[in-house]
Amino acid sequence: MLAALVVSGGAFAVIAASGINDNLVYYWTPTDLHSNGAKAYGATIRLGGMVSAGSIRKHGGSTVEFDVHDGVKTVHVKTMTVPPQMFRENIGVVVEGTMVRAGYFQSNRLMVSHNNEYKAPKAGHPVEREELEKMLHTVDEGKS
């Protein structure tokens, strides 16, 4: 009886651990994404940052391309989703998706920060890491 419990408990632990490992969602800034290198390909990432000025390009359908930066590094993003109402330049966004080998971030979810306290940094200043992290967590409201 006890042995059966231990075995099944162990099996459960192994299944749960691998289940978690395969389904982690990383909360990264563009700097984190660059420093993690190859790990970014295929991993589920929530990338938070500012939409670079003049970078938004809308194509036919709902494909949108833009750059997300944190004042240090920049990541090019392509998304197929309809951008939310407030989407514009210099606004904090969180995109969920993954890095593809072609060298851009393929996103299936685009969220605009709902954080009222979030203030865009002054020109030339890097975005504060803490602000970005706060933002990454405050867009949790829309799920897909």
Site residues for another protein per CB under 8 A: 12, 15-16, 19-20, 22-27, 44, 46, 62, 81-86, 112-114, 116, 133-134, 136-138, 140-144
Q: Which is nearer to another protein, 5 or 102 (CB)?
A: 5
Q: What is the DSSP string of 96-123?
A: EEEE-TTSSEEEEEEEE---TT--PPPT
For 49, counting Cβ atoms within 10 Å of its Cβ (0-12 exposed, 13-18 middle, 19+ buried), the class is: buried
Strand, coil or helix: 134: helix
- Report the nearest approach of another protein to the CB of residue 32 (Å): 9
Q: Which is nearer to another protein, 3 or 24 (CB)?
A: 24
- Report the nearest approach of another protein to the CB of residue 82 (Å): 4
